[in-house]
Structure 1
Amino acid sequence: MKTTNRDMEPKTNRTTEPTTTRTREPPTRTMESMTTRTTAFTTTRTMEPTTTTTRSTDPTSSSRETSSTFLYFAYGSNLLKERLTLKNPSATVHCVARLKDYRLVFGNHKGRASERWHGGVATIEHSPGDEVWGVVWRLSVTDLESLDSQENVTLGAYSPVELNVKTTEQDLSCRTYIMNSCVYAPPSPQYLKVMVMGAAQNGLPQEYQAKLRAIKTNMYEGPLHVMDELERAWHKVAHSPASL
């Protein structure tokens, strides 16, 4: 009797349980796995287009804006890299360029003095025969909102525009900003200092740098929070491993 029981029990386990597992569970798991993978792949491609895809289909993409970056023409305090990257860390120098038939002026939106700079700030206005030199920066679109905020676009102080600037080799379409309802006012010495430093940093023409240095200021001598921020940025750069 003991021998008969041993022979019957293992046979029942082998024929009933393994067969059920092989015929029912694997097909269900395979279909669920395939469905999950297909959905995830489709969602990623649709909602997160990559820059790599854009560049691979455009042989001249190295000289154009991609879907993830834009070109910005700076002519004021953002000539200085440390100033621009305080709030826009993705900025990298693309080139130096000039804007024809415009001139550089200083003022305040509706005559309201800048709390940040305690004086007039830079803007441009159409002026046939004149030109404004500046730096073309390439930025990530993730910094676009920050840049607009710096220029007080939502408050109506500046409006973003697209203008063509010239380099030694080509014309570039760039984003820049023009003040609305400008009331002329001289800049503070600190503001002009940042502009002059940025012009020298990026190698703007010497004649243009001399014109910037000759601009008269309002002689403001008080403290400016933004200058404290720049001092910290300069100190950080001076003590970074790359500068040692």
Structure 2
Amino acid sequence: MDITASFDRYGRKDKQYYFAYGSNMHPAQVGTRCTAPHAVCTACLADHKLAFYGRNRVWDGGMETVVPAPGREVWGVLYELSFGDSLSLDMWGHARLDGGGVYFHYPVLLLDGAGNEHAAVLYKKDVLGKPVPPSSEYMAFIMEAARQRALPPRYLQILETMESTPARYEVPRAEKQLRGVLVEATCRECAG
């Protein structure tokens, strides 16, 4: 499937399809960052694995990304987002279209549990450096999201065995971001 075909496939040219594989899988988190996120299905990114790099100050540990890994897979949630919600999520995730943020938009083809293809974008880190394990608290949050979204048991086992370390301070630490601006920037009436 051509990566641009998702607009025609879903019949919506005013929506973006976003694949969440980390903390944005959690309904509570994505619900505070978007006004009307629609979970389309759970899906799998083939030949990649979940990895952690950099520093997540909110959770005191590494930040999630996907890296190539032949034969491995990353499961997550495919969301349909309005462009207002997509921009809000970009601001929260420090994702910039020009590549100058912590994350950039990475186009992918996914498979759902029934074997159907889905075109989407995900957030991927450009600068990796040395791997940094996530905090145990962050992994617990991701695990909670994975269970709530009913990801496959074999993938839950992979998540459960990932290395993590206890946070050195109370987490999650409040982000110093303009939360009110983000919420007001995507009002329910005009975003969707």
1:135-154 to structure 2, matched below 5 A, reads 135-154=77-96
1:216: Cα distance to partner? 2.0
Structure 1 residues 85-108: Cα deviation after superposition (integer angstroms, max 9, x where no partner): 111121121001101111111111
For residues 65 and 122 of structure 1, the distance between their equivalents in structure 2, rounded to whole angstroms, comes to: 31
* Structure 2 residue runs without a partner (length 5+): 1-6, 176-192
**Aligned residues with identical type, % of pairs:** 26
Distance in 1 (CA, whole Å) between partners of 2:42 and 2:173 is: 25
- Tell me what 2:142 maps to: 195
* Aligned CA distance change for structure 1 residues 98 and 173 (closer, same or farther; 3 Å): same
The TM-score normalised by the length of structure 1 is 0.63
Counterpart in the other structure of 2:3: none
**TM (normalized to structure 2)?**
0.79
Structure 1 CA distance, aligned partners of 2:174 and 2:147?
18
CA distance in 2, matches of 1:62, 1:205: 29
Query: What's the secondary structure of 2:61's corresponding residue?
Result: coil
Query: For the Cα contact (< 8 Å) 2:59–2:167, is it kept in 1?
Result: no
- Corresponding position of 1:32: none
Greater RCO, CA 8 A, separation 6+: 2
Gaps of 5+ in 1: 1-60, 229-244
- The CA distance in 1 between the partners of 2:32 and 2:126, in whole Å, is 24
Q: 2:62 corresponds to which letter in structure 1? A: G
The 5 Å alignment of 1:34-113 reads 64=10, 66-108=12-54, 113=55
Distance 2:173 2:147 in 1: 20
- Helix, strand or coil at the partner of 2:33: coil
**Shift of residue 176 of structure 1?**
0.5
Change (3 A) 1:118 1:101: same
Matches of 1:130 and 1:162, distance apart in 2: 18
Contact 1:65 1:71 in 2 (8 A): no
Q: Which has the higher strand share?
A: 2
Counterpart in 2 of 1:121? 63
Question: Aligned-pair distance for 1:205?
Answer: 0.5
Q: Compute the displacement of 1:81 (Å).
A: 0.9
State the Cα deviation string for residues 195-221 of structure 1 (Å, max 9, x = none).
101110011001111111122212115
Residue number in structure 1 paired with 2:107: 162
Greater C-alpha Rg: 1
Asked if the contact 1:72/1:139 (under 8 Å) is kept, the reply is yes
Q: Deviation of residue 127 (structure 1)?
A: 1.5
Taking the aligned partners of 2:149 and 2:95, their CA distance within structure 1 comes to 26
Whether the 8 Å CA contact 1:190–1:227 is kept in 2: the answer is no
Greater than 6 Å deviation, 4+ residue runs: none
CA-to-partner distance for each residue in 1:137-180, whole Å, 9 max, x for gaps?
11111111111112212452111011000011410001101101
In 2, are the aligned partners of 1:121 and 1:191 still within 8 Å (CA)? no
Contact 1:75 1:132 (C-alpha < 8 Å) held by counterparts: yes
Distance in 1 of aligned mates of 2:29 and 2:174: 9
2:162 partner SS: coil
More helix by share: 1
State the superposition RMSD in angstroms: 2.2
Q: How many residues align?
A: 165
2:183 counterpart residue number? none
